[in-house]
Amino acid sequence: MSTNFDASWADSARQFQQMVGEGWSQMLQVLQPKEMGAALSMPAAGPVGFAPDKLAAVQQRYLQEVQALWSHALHHDDAPLSNDRRFAGENWAHNPLSAFSVAAYQLQAHALMGLADAVQADDKTRARIRFSVEQWLAAMAPSNFLVFNADAQQKALETHGESIAKGVANLLHDLGQGHISMTDESRFEVGRNVATTEGAVVFENELFQLLEYKPLTPKVYERPLLMVPPCINKYYILDLQPDNSLIRHAVAQGHRTFVVSWRNPDASLAHKTWDDYIDEAVLTAIATVQQIAGAKQINALGFCVGGTMLATALAVLAARGEEPVASCTFLTTLIDFADTGILDVFIDEGFVRMRELQMGQGGLMKGQDLASTFSFLRPNDLVWNYVVGNYLKGETPPPFDLLYWNSDSTNLPGPYYAWYLRNFYLENNLIRPGRLTVCGESLDLTQVQLPVYIYGSREDHIVPIGAAYASTQVLPGDKRFVMGASGHIAGVINPPAKKKRSHWLREDGQLPATLDAWLAGATELPGSWWDDWCAWLHGHAGRQIAAPKAYGKAPKFKAIEPAPGRYVQQKA
| Contacts of 344 by beta carbon, 8 Å cutoff, 6+ apart | 124, 127
DSSP string, 400-463: -HHHHHHHS---EEHHHHHHHIIIIIIT--TTSTTS-EETTEE--GGG--S-EEEEEETT-SSS
Give me the torsion for CA of 553, 554, 556, 562, rounded to 10°.
Answer: 70
Give me the torsion for CA of 405, 406, 410, 412, rounded to 10°.
Answer: 140
| The dihedral sign for the CA sequence 230, 428, 536, 505 | positive
CA distance 465 to 265: 30
- 479 contacts 454 by C-beta, under 8 angstroms: yes
Distance of CA 115 to the CA centre of its chain: 29
Largest CA distance in the chain: 88
- 465 contacts 457 by C-beta, under 8 angstroms: yes
Q: Which of 304, 328, 439, 534 is catalytic?
A: 304
CA distance 347 to 421: 8
Told to judge if 231 belongs to the known catalytic residues of this protein, a careful annotator would answer: no
CA distance 495 to 249: 8
Look at residues 217, 299, 211 and name the one whose alpha carbon lies nearest to residue 259.
211
- Cis, bond preceding 562 (omega within 30 deg of 0): no
Q: How many CB atoms lie within 10 A of CB 68?
A: 12
- 25 contacts 132 by C-beta, under 8 angstroms: yes
Q: Which residues pair with 212 in a beta bridge?
A: 200, 258
- How far is residue 114 from each of residues 14, 16, 40, 110, 224, measured CA to CA in Å? 14, 11, 20, 6, 55
| The dihedral sign for the CA sequence 105, 107, 112, 116 | positive
SS3 at position 298: strand
Burial class of residue 34 (count of CB atoms within 10 Å of its CB; 0-12, 13-18, 19+)? middle
| Contacts of 165 by beta carbon, 8 Å cutoff, 6+ apart | 394
Which sequence positions are flagged as catalytic? 304
